[in-house]
Amino acid sequence: MCGISGIVHSENIGRNLFNSIRNLEYRGYDSCGIAMLRQGTIDLRKNIGGIDDVNSKEQLDQMQGRIGIAHTRWATHGGVTQENAHPHLSTNRKFAVVHNGIISNYKELRESLQSKGVIFDSLTDTEVFVNLLEESFADCNDLEQSFLAALQQIEGSFSIVMLSAHDPEHLYCVKQESPLLLGLGEGCNYVGSDLNAFLEYTRQAIVLDDGEYVVLGQDDYQIRQVQTRDTIGKSVLNIDWDVETSKKGGYSHYMLKEIFDEPQTIRQAMKIPAGQISGIAEMFVNAPRSYLIGVGTTYYVASISQYYFSILADCFYPSLSSDEFTVVKIESGDMAFAFSQSGETYDTKTALEYAKDHGAQTAAVVNVMGSAISMMVDQVIMQGSGPEICVVSTKAALAQTFIMIRVALELGLMQTRISRKEYEKHQLDLEEFPEMVKKVLNEQSGFVRNIARATSHVENWLFLGCGVYYPVAMESALKMKEVTYQHAEGMPAGFLKHGTLSMVEPALHSLFFVPPPEEKELHDRTLIAMEQVKTRGGTAIALMFQGDKRAHAVVDQSIELPPVSILLAPLMQMIVAQMFSYYAALELGRNIDKPRNLAKSVTVG
Ligand code: F6R
């Protein structure tokens, strides 16, 4: 949530700073700005709109200087206005800051500064901090000391980078709860709220921990504890993400590109060492009670996993939305397993903290290396899906689901719920899956697009499924809402008759997630709901598998997929439903990669 970038270089960095916030734009895109130091003066340019918009108004990429900070915003405190955009300047224009997170005691601090005559330009919490800096510096005339003095006064979650006319060689950075990383280059150093801020320029990164601050120069950096001022030695990570995977690569949107990345993402998930997978399965075996947690899409990934654990290992682990997790009684020895693409989501982090405080074991599957969640849990699986730039999650969620099938299979074997022979057959299916996905993406996309186009006017959808197809329907409905802004409600197909059936009429469209006919019980139940819709004059569309004559006879339209193993059929439907939402949004002219009101990683509560 919000993107931060800072660079100290031996050469002009206008273009690089601009590129870095462009690469972070998915974190927030209602306004942006850059502050650079030039001949002792801070040049500030900021405005509302997306990065390219603001660039055409402010010529951000033409700015001159060797040291600077930049920000792309997702508004929390103060509306979307030019004044509220970052960076923020102190009254004397000697300090500029960019900030991610929330300064929770900003109101008291603002009032106190106002009583001393400080006039604020914006309604943000951030402007309080930059004026505290000016005030502290006036007292001590020492930049590092004034940075620390200002920090002692603020509470909440924040990562902050400060630029000051008093020190043309260094940026001052601090991390508290919101993510912040350093990137180390040759004759230049970087700071960013995630790796995408500097991945184009360096692969050497340091992940900062809470309570650490950094004085960052072109060739040097010191990391210290805010409380003690002790210097800290930190390990440098070599980031192996391929820069190309964070580019659009000829696709019209990142969402489409990331859907087409899915075969490769699954291959990566297959490469996660078996020892890691069984290590997680053992944690489940050893815990008296286990919970699966996530929010939004990752809650649905948790819910899909819940079914797989049940089907393959006869184990029931409830899935919970992370923000509701603290109602659960959790005790020493229990286990909380979290899902998070970004590894920075506030609700999930808070739920894990709650679990840890009660003595529970924690584990997670995470995509972003060095992220808070990846560092705080007892065991982590790094899914290796590469950067996911589109705000809505596709490939990361798919890979997490696939990984959990691997864990459930391992657990099934350990619990002797499945035989070695069945296990090996399933493994073969997993290995063949990337090729099948590739084929479906290539061969079905035109057809999916036609149906999505023809139905893009539909304002109300029901997405219906039974068994594991139910959470798949829920996740697909979320995707639809996010990118098309049309209403889609996911529910169990059997639930329909208990109330929602009253809404059925021709304009209400129902998308059925139909299992392969071999899944007889689930298939029968889905078809019963389909008949209920049709006999009441509703419109039914089916996502189903080829050769399903019974479903074909009932529905108005269908997307028919080639046969795939029962184990992976739900995932194939999840992928096709992602495509369906994408094409509907395309037809409606939506801002697909950056849907209105959303941000990629939600680091606030
Ligand atoms: C939906 C989506 C969100 C995230 C949720 C959790 O497409 O992307 O619902 O899944 O905000 O984010 P992470 O996975 O980063 O913890």
Q: What is the pLDDT of residues 45-90, one digit of tens each?
A: 999 998 999 999 999 999 999 999 999 987 777 788 999 999 999 9
* 135 and 21 within one domain: yes
Q: Cα 68 to the chain's mean position, in Å? A: 27
Number of domains forming the structure of the chain:
3
How many angstroms is it from 295 CA to the middle of ligand 1?
A: 6
Interval 341-353 mean pLDDT: 95
Mutate to test the pocket of ligand 1, among 259, 298, 376 (most ligand atoms within 8 A of CB): 298
* 463 and 408 within one domain: no
Whether 431 is in a domain gets the answer no
Whether 433 is in a domain gets the answer no
* 157 and 45 within one domain: yes
The ligand 1 atom nearest the CA atom of 342: 15
> Measured between alpha carbons, how far is residue 599 from residues 30, 184, 299, 344 in Å?
10, 27, 17, 12
Interval 232-256 mean pLDDT: 81
CATH number at residue 360: 3.40.50.10490
d(CA 246, CA 584): 24
Q: What is the pLDDT of residue 243?
A: 63
Whether 540 is in a domain gets the answer yes
How many angstroms is it from 292 CA to the middle of ligand 1?
A: 15
| Atom 7 of ligand 1: nearest residue by CA position | 392
Neighbours of 508 (CB within 10 A): 20
How many angstroms is it from 514 CA to the middle of ligand 1?
A: 26
How big is the CA angle at 261 (ends 258 and 265), to the nearest 5 degrees? 115
DSSP state of 402: H
Mutate to test the pocket of ligand 1, among 26, 255, 300, 393 (most ligand atoms within 8 A of CB): 393
The ligand 1 atom nearest the CA atom of 298: 10
Q: What is the pLDDT of residue 1?
A: 66
Q: What is the pLDDT of residue 329?
A: 92
Domain of residue 389, residue span: 250-418
Interval 439-491: pLDDT, tens: 999 999 999 999 999 999 999 999 999 999 999 999 999 999 999 999 999 99
Mutate to test the pocket of ligand 1, among 388, 602, 604 (most ligand atoms within 8 A of CB): 602
Question: Where is pLDDT greater, at 50 or 510?
Answer: 510
| Atom 10 of ligand 1: nearest residue by CA position | 297
d(CA 544, CA 552): 9
Contacts of 87 (CB under 8 A, 6+ apart): 33, 34, 35, 44, 46, 69, 70, 71, 96, 97, 98, 163
* 255 and 214 within one domain: no
With a Cβ cut-off of 6 Å, ligand 1 is lined by 295-298, 340-342, 345, 348, 392-393, 482, 601-602
Q: What is the pLDDT of residue 244?
A: 61
- Considering 241, 273, 291, which residue would you say is the last residue of a domain? 241
Interval 97-149: pLDDT, tens: 999 988 999 999 999 999 999 999 999 999 999 999 999 999 999 999 999 99
How many angstroms is it from 364 CA to the middle of ligand 1?
A: 14
Q: Cα 247 to the chain's mean position, in Å? A: 17
Interval 277-308: pLDDT, tens: 999 999 999 999 999 999 999 999 999 999 99
Q: In the annotation, is 466 catalytic?
A: no
HSE, side-chain direction, 13 A CA sphere, residue 129: 32
- Considering 185, 210, 241, which residue would you say is the last residue of a domain? 241
Interval 179-204 mean pLDDT: 93
Residue whose token pair is 């900030």: 99
Q: In the annotation, is 2 catalytic?
A: yes
Catalytic residue, candidates 2, 173, 315, 466: 2
| Atom 6 of ligand 1: nearest residue by CA position | 295
* 335 and 227 within one domain: no
Q: What is the pLDDT of residue 28?
A: 72
* 154 and 28 within one domain: yes
- Considering 418, 450, 474, which residue would you say is the last residue of a domain? 418
Structure tokens at 25: 């734009």
Interval 367-415: pLDDT, tens: 988 788 999 999 999 998 988 989 999 999 999 999 999 999 999 999 9
Catalytic residue, candidates 94, 175, 257, 600: 600
Whether 472 is in a domain gets the answer yes
Q: What is the pLDDT of residue 2?
A: 84
Report the chain's terminal Cα–Cα distance, integer Å.
11
* 308 and 216 within one domain: no
